[in-house]
Structure 1
Amino acid sequence: MRRSASRALRYSGPERAAAVQALKAAGAAMLAWALAAFWIESPMALMAPWTALVLVDSTVYRSLRAGARQLGIISVGAVLASVAMFLTRGSTLPAMAMSLPPLMLIAGYRRLGAHGIYGATTALFMIAYGAYQPWQVGHRLLETPIGALIGLSINAFVLPPVRFDGVRANLHALAVECGELLQAIGDGLKRPWGSAQAGAWEDQARRLHRGVQAVAQARQRATESTRLNPGRRMRRGHRTPPHRSWTDSGRKSSTT
C-alpha cells in the first residue's frame, strides 16, 4: 500500500488513475447526496449518491452505457417494491417474497451485466425503509436521474479517464518476457540440452500469446476510453499508443 501510494504521488500511471477515480466517485456521491437532501428535501437521500457512486466508471463510454441500464433497472425495482408493499399492506416478508423472485430473474439477464442486481437491492432498500407511498416512490425515482447526471458529469468533465498507459505497460511486459526467453534459450544452447528442456522452452513461448492478448485488451480499453469523451483533448501527458503493427505480427506468428 505504501509503494502504491508513493507511485500515485510521484508518477502518472495506474495507481494515480485509480486514486483519481476513487476521489471522483466519492465527490460525486457527496454532491448527489447534498442536492437530494437539501434541494428536493428527500427524506432518505440514498438513491442519488448510490447512483452517482457506481456511474463513475473506468471510461466515459461505460458510464453512459451503464447510466441508461441503471436508470431502467432501479426504476423497475422501485415500482415492483411499491406495488408489493401496497398489495401486502406494508408487510415486509410478504413484500419481499412477491418482489424479489422476479427481480432476481431480471438480474440474471445477460445484457444487464453487473447492473442487474440493482433492481433487487433497490427493492430491499425501499421495503426495509417502508417507503411505498406515491410521493416516496416519486422521490426515489427523482433521486436516481439526479445521481446519474452528477456521476456522468463528473466522470466526463473532471479529469476524464483516458486509458493509453495500459498499452505501453503491457507491451513493455511482453518485451521483457520475450527477452528473458531468448536469453534462456541462448544460455541453454551453450550447454547440453534434451527434449525436456526444449519442451519447457516451447511452453514458455506459447505462454507469450497471453501477453499479446493482454496488449490487445489494453488497446481495446484505450480505444473505448476515447469514445464519447468530451475531455480527451484536455488531458495532458498521454501519448498515443504504439501502432497495431507492433503486436499484429506477433499475434500472427504465435498463431502459426
Structure 2
Amino acid sequence: MKFVTTLVIARRSPLLQVLKTSVAAVVAWVVAGFVVQQPLPIFAAIAALLVVQPSVTQSIEKGLERSIGVVAGVVIALGAGQIFGTSSWVILMVIVLAVLVAWLLKLSAGSANQIPISAMLVIALGGQNAEYAVDRIIETIIGAMIGLIVNLAIVAPVIVSPAHTAVLLLTKHTAAALESLASALRVPKTDAELDVLLADSRHLKELRDVASAALRKGADSLTLNPRRSKHHRILHRDRELFAMLTVLVTRTLGMARAIHDRYDSDLATDPVALSIAQELERAAHDLRLRGRSPSEREAAPPTRELLTLTAPLTVLTPHPQHWILIGSLLEDVRRVHEEIVGDDGTS
C-alpha cells in the first residue's frame, strides 16, 4: 500500500547517525540540567535530536529554525500568560496566534511548527513564570549547540559516494541510449522496439533528476565540513560531468523522439543515416571514456584512450524522403560532438 510505503523507508539510516543522535540528546540533557537546574530539560533534548542531521549545513539550519521557533513561541506564551492567565481557552488562543505569526513572517516549516509547539508547552507548564520561559530558551540553545558540536566532532558526514554512483549510472545509460539510436539507424526496427527505444531515452530524465539531487546532497554535506578537502575534487569532477550529461540527455531524448516519430526502415540503406549511426557509436565510446577517473584512464589500453569523434558531419544534398529526420539528427549530433570534445574538436 502507498500509505505504508510512506511510513517505511527503503534503506535504514546509518547506525553512526543513530549513535550520534543518541549521544547528542544525552549530553544535552545532562548539560542543560546542570546549567538551568531543571530536572527535566526536555527542550534541550528535543533540540539536540532535531539538530543532528545528515550534514553540517542541515544541522545549522535546524538549529536556527529550532531556536527561532522557541524564542518566538516563548515570547507569545509569556505575553498571553501575563495578560489572560493560563486557562484552557488561552492555550488554544496561543496556538492559533502562533500559527498566524509564523504565516505572517513567512517562516520555514521547521520554525512555523516550532512556534505553536513551544508556546503551548510554555504556557501549559510554566504559565506566567518569566524565569521558566527564559530557561526554556537557554535549554534550546544548549541542545542546538551540542547537537551541532556532536555532528562535527563524531565523523562529520560526507555524502559524496551516492552522487558519484548516480552520475556514473547516468553516464552508462546515456552511452547505452546513444548506441541504441545507432542501432535503430543501422538495423530495421519494429514499432514495439521503437517504443522501447523512446521509453529508455525518457528514463534518462529520471536518472538525471536522481543524480542532480545526489549532487546537491553531496555538496551540502561538504559545506563547513572539516573533511571536505579530500572529497571536493571528486565532487567537482562529477558536477562537471553532470553538466555535460544534462545536455546529452536532452539531445538523446530529442533524437529518440525524432526517430520514433519519423522512422523508416529504408534508413538502414541511407549512407548519411549510417554515418550518423557511426558518430553516435563514437559518441557513446567517448562518453564512457569521459566517465572514467584519471587513474582508470591511465590503466586502460592506450588505443582505447583516444576520443574517436571526428569533425561534425555535413550533408550537401539532403535525402528527398528523410531530410527532416536527417537534418534534426545532424543538429543533435553536432551538439553532442561539441559537448564531448569541444567546439574546436579537442578534449
TM-score, reference length from structure 2: 0.60
Taking only aligned residues, the RMSD between alpha carbons, in angstroms, comes to 3.1
The aligned residue for residue 156 of structure 2 is 160
Letter in 1 for 2:234: T
Distance 2:97 2:12 in 1: 41
Shift of 1:62: 1.9
The aligned residue for residue 197 of structure 2 is 201
- Is 1:116 matched up with 2:112? yes
Q: Please say if residues 174 and 211 of structure 1, whose CA atoms lie closer than 8 Å, have aligned partners that are also in contact.
A: yes
Letter in 2 for 1:28: A
Of residues 139, 142, 146, the one that matches 2:142 is 146
* Count of residues in correspondence between the two structures: 240
- Listed as ranges, the gaps of 5+ residues in structure 1 are 1-13
SS in 2 for 1:253: helix
Shift of 1:112: 1.5
Of residues 240, 252, 255, the one that matches 2:247 is 252
Q: Please say if residues 157 and 231 of structure 1, whose CA atoms lie closer than 8 Å, have aligned partners that are also in contact.
A: no
Distance 1:148 1:169 in 2: 33
Of residues 52, 59, 78, the one that matches 2:55 is 59
The aligned residue for residue 129 of structure 1 is 125
Distance 2:122 2:107 in 1: 25
- Is 1:212 matched up with 2:208? yes
Pick closer, same or farther for the CA change 1:192–1:110 going to 2, 3 Å.
farther
Pick closer, same or farther for the CA change 1:238–1:17 going to 2, 3 Å.
farther
Letter in 1 for 2:96: P
The aligned residue for residue 238 of structure 2 is 243
- Is 1:169 matched up with 2:159? no
Distance 2:203 2:23 in 1: 42
The aligned residue for residue 14 of structure 2 is 18
Higher alpha-carbon deviation: 145-154 or 96-105:
96-105
Pick closer, same or farther for the CA change 1:254–1:191 going to 2, 3 Å.
closer
Between structure 1 and structure 2, the one with the greater Rg is 2
Per-residue displacement from partner, 1:120-144 (whole Å, max 9, x unpaired)?
1112222332443011112111111
The aligned residue for residue 257 of structure 2 is none
Higher alpha-carbon deviation: 174-183 or 201-210:
174-183
Pick closer, same or farther for the CA change 1:50–1:164 going to 2, 3 Å.
same
Distance 1:183 1:231 in 2: 40
Letter in 2 for 1:102: L
Q: Please say if residues 77 and 122 of structure 2, whose CA atoms lie closer than 8 Å, have aligned partners that are also in contact.
A: yes
Pick closer, same or farther for the CA change 1:180–1:115 going to 2, 3 Å.
farther
Q: After TM superposition, where is structure 1 displaced by more than 6 Å over at least 4 residues in a row?
A: 14-17, 182-192, 236-239
The structure whose RCO (Cα within 8 Å, separation 6+) is larger is 1
- Listed as ranges, the gaps of 5+ residues in structure 2 are 1-9, 252-347
Q: Please say if residues 167 and 238 of structure 2, whose CA atoms lie closer than 8 Å, have aligned partners that are also in contact.
A: no
Distance 1:24 1:239 in 2: 27
Q: Please say if residues 156 and 231 of structure 1, whose CA atoms lie closer than 8 Å, have aligned partners that are also in contact.
A: no
